[in-house]
Amino acid sequence: MKKYRVYQVDAFTKTKLAGNPAGVVTNAEGLTEKQMQKIARELNNSETAFILPPTKNQADIKIRFFTPTTEVPICGHATIGANFVRAIENNLNSQTIIQETKAGNLPITISKNNATYQITMNQGDISVTEPLNLTTQNRILNALGLTPDQRNQKFPMAIASTGAAKVMIAVNNTKILDNLQPNLEALKAITPDINCNGYYVFVVTPDEKNLIHGRMFSPASGINEDPVTGNANGPLGAYLVKYNLVKTSGDLLEFSIIQGEKIKRSGTMLVRVFLNHGQPVKIQIVGEAVIAFKTEIYL
């Protein structure tokens, strides 16, 4: 039997029991895929990250991500949490590493600030689709319990991805956002038809500190509502630029988001979109984290 170090980490916050919780196993070498899935189910966070030795020469670490029901290629908040814990365990200095994932090799910057760390994650390849057809849009609106006049018509309903795809759905105000009561089974039924398992509903509030307020639903992945989602807000940045929905100056768009308010797990992150000739070419998300608790498991 081997002793595995297991953490509960709250990402995109500096306050325990806020933000987005992730499980992290920092010494996962030796675990089978079946065991990883069982640990993720036992911890019952939206994702659990398993830190492994790299299998590609250019990578420094490998991370696999599991929801309670399935493996996913990448996860933003669990990436922030896993690299935060690894930095704490090893008392790392500021540095950039390469993280191997099933969404590709991604640079991660670890910035040490006194006794804590800020983690910057470069996300994967950018993809933003054309607007969904009207039939699909109406199915999604019905599943979310939204009427057409509650949707912000200036924002196309489209799918954006930086490694994990999400449908982008803008609504008119935060009251509509807060009152959402989606039909999760209906959302789950739409997922295979659009090859996308997440639905990010958001409000743009340009006069506030945080440009975006959002809620993310992914019932097909076993996540009814995710508190703070890197793999929604990173793609959102690409989507906003691609459709020319916010003002940009120069070669960088930078904005803050807040998410998780409705479910009492508020967290924030910074999103950076790097531009080339007005098009998004690289996405970064920046966040902090805090360890809620640590335990050990023998398997």
Q: How far apart are CA 130 and CA 132, in angstroms?
A: 6
CA angle in degrees (0–180, nearest 5) for 287-198-282: 45
**DSSP code at position 193:** H
Terminal Cα distance for the chain, rounded: 5
**Active site (catalytic) residues:** 47
Q: Which ranges constitute the DSSP H helices of the chain?
A: 33-43, 76-90, 134-144, 174-178, 184-194, 230-242
Token pair, residue 56, equals 């590609």
- For residues 276 and 234, the answer to whether their CB atoms sit within 8 Å is no
- Residues shown for the chain: 299
Token pair, residue 62, equals 């490998």
CA 289 from chain centre, in angstroms, equals 14
Q: How far apart are CA 93 and CA 89, in angstroms?
A: 12
